[in-house]
């Protein structure tokens, strides 16, 4: 039997035997020692390299440097780390390791055990054991057991979030992964063996440690890891909120929903968010700030946040004036182009930062300024005599992707500027070892909003998402630590609310397109959540920016 194997912009005809492993096809195509490829699409369906194939026409190899391949690598690395911790603590089973949240180029983890403290000696032992397991090149085994057996195993090991999660599974079987005798459940596929996981580090941080992962495009560790301190504090606060409500995993969330307590959860979450916004408004007033600069990645809720902040500023006796940085684009003829010759509207070079700084400075000084409006059809700024002059108590509320870039405020008095970074930093995890990606939360938000407000189907939104993320990595994330305040726009209940809006959109993605795998992955992810009655979501909720029905008319 012959099939076509695609890899690295090449194609090769390979003769395969029936029921052979995908790993053997990779070996026959590129050589046995090549660890660049970690999975494969077989006739359009993603499969692990340890899978067997009986009949196929096209095999497309997945590189570890791709988004999909890198996710496999990081997920497998977490299981390798947990196996190593298990081996180091072999005589002590009374502990739980938690993979908490993404922290820059790494994952913050904790070991929950009474009177246990992370030491450099302990981390060195774990790292040495990880390296030993890598050298042994142990295959990742997939085991199929009954869902009830999985629940029993997790309860015995103190992994109660996993046990709660499985209570709501609709299937009778569960897929577990094993390295030797260590078993665990993971949402997603694994690389073929431990020998693929050569790049990583472990560093102590606060009351836990960070599993540092390599750069995606180069898979090297040629960088010095620095934990983003403000991001950590914001995530830690969100974690504390969740624990105060008794929710850290999806299973616990589902328990609360089945107990009829979703309305209480929504009210408490919204109250916590409103309090945070009110605290920010009070800080702005007390410090006499005149310009609030707000930035954050796509679908973080910047628009609703700026409106709710404006309401709170007014409640504190100030007069907010919203300003969009989009009105300060350069004329189209002056817009820089990317490597493909297309206009690069995401670059700060596309913004007239000179005019923005000059207008903001003059407004702060009490001068009258003719504010521009950018005409996106003509590709130029229009001045319509929209005059603005700040009075006592006036505050400018500016929203834009480059708002935290130091260039945006280089000519402005530092004591008059207040910077806010906003993102949906999801504090809820699937279970003790499976995180919920902030990126996934934002993508689901954007799919729903784009369908409602822009007429884009899920396929189109998914197809644009990687380029959106590239722009965020370049223009937004590097400046998040510049913020005076980080605002977390994630809500514990939001995935249970957005589920019913986004699932029909994802089911419409055709099977024969490149975006189908991502749509299917997101549908599988959403299957963990029970839905809630969205009529309970307040009209001023940040969620209304995406699902609609809000009081701000977004």
- What is the pLDDT at residue 241? 84
CA dist 346 and 343 (Å) reads 9
pLDDT of residue 18: 78
Q: What is the pTM of this model?
A: 0.93
Which tens digit of pLDDT belongs to each residue from 350-372?
Answer: 999 999 999 999 999 999 999 99
CA dist list (Å): 248 to 127, 161, 162, 388, 437: 27, 8, 11, 47, 14
Contact 438, 424 (CB under 8 A): yes
Q: Which of 530, 522, 528, 523 is nearest to 71 (CA)?
A: 522
CA-CA distance, 54 to 324, in Å (whole number)? 57
Alpha helices (runs of H) in 89-159, residue ranges in sequence order = 120-136, 147-156
pLDDT at 338: 84
Looking at residue 232, what is its pLDDT? 95
Ranges of residues in the chain with a pLDDT under 50 are none
> What gap in Å lies between CA 174 and CA 150, rounded to an integer?
7
Question: How many C-beta atoms lie closer than 10 Å to residue 378's C-beta?
Answer: 10
What is the per-residue pLDDT for 54? 81
| 423 three-class SS | strand
What sign results for the dihedral spanned by CA atoms 257, 260, 263, 269? negative
């Amino acid at each position: 039997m012959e099939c076509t194997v695609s890899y690295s912009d090449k194609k090769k005809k390979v003769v395969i035997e029936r029921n052979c492993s995908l790993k053997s096809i990779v070996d026959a195509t590129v050589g046995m020692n090549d660890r660049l490829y970690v999975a494969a699409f077989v006739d359009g369906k993603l499969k692990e390299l340890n899978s067997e194939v009986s009949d196929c026409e096209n095999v497309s190899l997945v590189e570890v440097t791709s988004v999909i391949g890198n996710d496999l690598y990081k997920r497998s690395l977490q299981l390798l780390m947990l196996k190593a911790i298990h081996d180091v603590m072999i005589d002590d089973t009374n502990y739980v390791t938690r993979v908490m949240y993404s922290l820059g180029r790494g994952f913050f983890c904790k070991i929950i055990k009474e009177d246990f403290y992370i030491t450099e000696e302990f981390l060195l032992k774990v790292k040495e054991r990880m390296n030993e397991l890598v050298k042994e090149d142990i295959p990742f085994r997939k085991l199929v057991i009954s869902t009830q057996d999985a629940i029993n195993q997790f309860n015995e090991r103190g992994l109660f979030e996993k046990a709660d999660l499985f209570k709501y599974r609709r299937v009778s079987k569960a897929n577990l992964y094993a390295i030797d005798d260590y078993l665990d459940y993971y949402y997603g596929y694994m690389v073929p063996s431990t020998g693929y996981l050569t790049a990583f580090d472990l560093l102590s941080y606060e009351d836990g440690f960070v599993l540092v992962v390599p750069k995606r495009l180069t898979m090297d560790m040629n960088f010095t890891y620095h934990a983003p301190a403000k991001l950590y504090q914001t995530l830690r606060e969100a974690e504390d909120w969740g624990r105060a409500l008794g929710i850290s995993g999806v299973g616990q969330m589902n328990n609360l929903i089945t107990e009829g307590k979703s309305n209480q959860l929504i009210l408490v979450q919204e109250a916590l968010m409103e309090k945070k916004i009110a605290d920010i408004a009070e800080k702005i007033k007390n410090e006499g700030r005149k310009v609030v600069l707000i930035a954050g990645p796509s679908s973080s809720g910047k628009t609703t946040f700026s409106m709710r902040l404006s309401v709170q500023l007014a409640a504190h006796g100030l007069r907010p004036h919203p300003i969009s940085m989009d009105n300060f684009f350069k004329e189209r003829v002056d817009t820089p182009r990317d490597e493909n010759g297309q206009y690069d509207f995401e670059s700060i070079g596309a913004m007239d930062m000179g005019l923005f700084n000059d207008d903001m400075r003059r407004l702060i000084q009490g001068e009258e300024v003719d504010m521009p409006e950018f005409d996106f059809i003509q590709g130029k700024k229009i001045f319509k005599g929209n005059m603005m002059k700040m009075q006592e108590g006036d505050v400018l509320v500016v929203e834009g992707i480059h708002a935290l870039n130091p260039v945006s405020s280089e000519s402005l008095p530092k004591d008059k500027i207040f910077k806010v970074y906003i993102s949906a930093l999801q504090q809820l995890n699937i279970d003790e070892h499976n995180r919920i990606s902030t990126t996934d939360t934002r993508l689901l938000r954007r799919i729903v909003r784009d369908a409602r407000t822009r007429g884009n189907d899920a396929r189109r939104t998914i197809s644009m998402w990687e380029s959106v993320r590239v722009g965020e990595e370049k223009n937004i994330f590097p400046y998040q630590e510049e913020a005076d305040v980080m605002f977390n726009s994630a809500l514990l209940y939001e995935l249970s609310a957005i589920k019913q809006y986004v699932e029909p959109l994802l089911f419409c993605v055709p099977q024969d397109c490149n975006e189908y795998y991502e749509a299917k992955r997101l549908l599988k992810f959403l299957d963990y959540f029970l839905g809630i009655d969205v009529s309970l979501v307040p009209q001023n909720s940040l969620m209304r920016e995406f699902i609609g029905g809000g009081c701000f008319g977004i």
